């Protein structure tokens, strides 16, 4: 590559940044749509199971056949395990509007799967809030969950700082 003038370099960098921003925005949009779609699929699976609830192992039958059908017609991403996760997503968050107000557009499907496995609703809400506000990767979120990291609230943090300052005054 030939040596670029300062003006050309700035121009190229600006174009590169515009493309990176557009890709990021597109990713967030697609992610939001896919999360909503997974929730809707989960709802439909649960509704379908309830219609066939008097048949033994209907859920297993339904998930296995749906997995085969979607894998054949749509492609990858619809294993039985993932469909069970999608079903669980609906069961853990039955009110999508409440869930979606917590800025889920910043959560990946992997993050959602990690959070929905938590039994405690307050913990789930905490990790949704923190992972969206702090833009945690799935690895970082998993580390926080495994270590039971619950960060102090702003009020708790202010109180801790105040106590530390008081130590120096005394």
Res. 104: pLDDT tops 50: yes
Can you spell out the DSSP letters for 15-73?
A: HHHHHHHHHHHHHHHHHHHHHHHHHHHHHHHHHHHHHTTTSTTHHHHHHHHHHHHHHHH
Contacts of 149 (CB under 8 A, 6+ apart): 143
Domain ranges of the chain: 1-93, 102-170
- pLDDT tens column, 26-66: 988 888 889 889 999 999 999 888 876 655 466 678 899 99
pLDDT at 160 over 80: no
pLDDT of residue 56: 46
Above 90 in pLDDT, residue 67? yes
pLDDT at 72 over 90: yes
pLDDT mean over 136-162: 76
């Amino acid at each position: 590559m030939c040596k670029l003038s300062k003006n050309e370099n700035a121009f190229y960098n600006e174009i590169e940044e515009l493309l990176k921003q557009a890709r990021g925005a597109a990713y967030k949009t697609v992610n939001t749509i896919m999360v909503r779609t997974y929730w809707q699929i989960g709802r439909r699976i649960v509704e379908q199971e309830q219609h066939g609830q008097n048949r033994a192992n209907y859920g297993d039958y339904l998930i296995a056949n749906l997995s085969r059908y979607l894998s054949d017609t749509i492609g990858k991403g619809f294993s039985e395990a993932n469909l069970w996760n999608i079903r669980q997503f609906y069961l853990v968050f039955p009110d999508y509007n409440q869930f979606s107000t917590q800025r889920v557009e910043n959560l990946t499907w992997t993050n959602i799967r990690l959070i929905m496995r938590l039994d405690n609703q307050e913990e789930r809400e905490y990790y949704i809030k923190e992972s969206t506000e702090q833009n945690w990767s799935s690895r970082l979120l998993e580390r926080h969950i495994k270590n039971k990291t619950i960060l102090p609230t702003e009020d708790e943090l202010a109180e801790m700082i105040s106590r530390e300052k008081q130590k120096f005054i005394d």
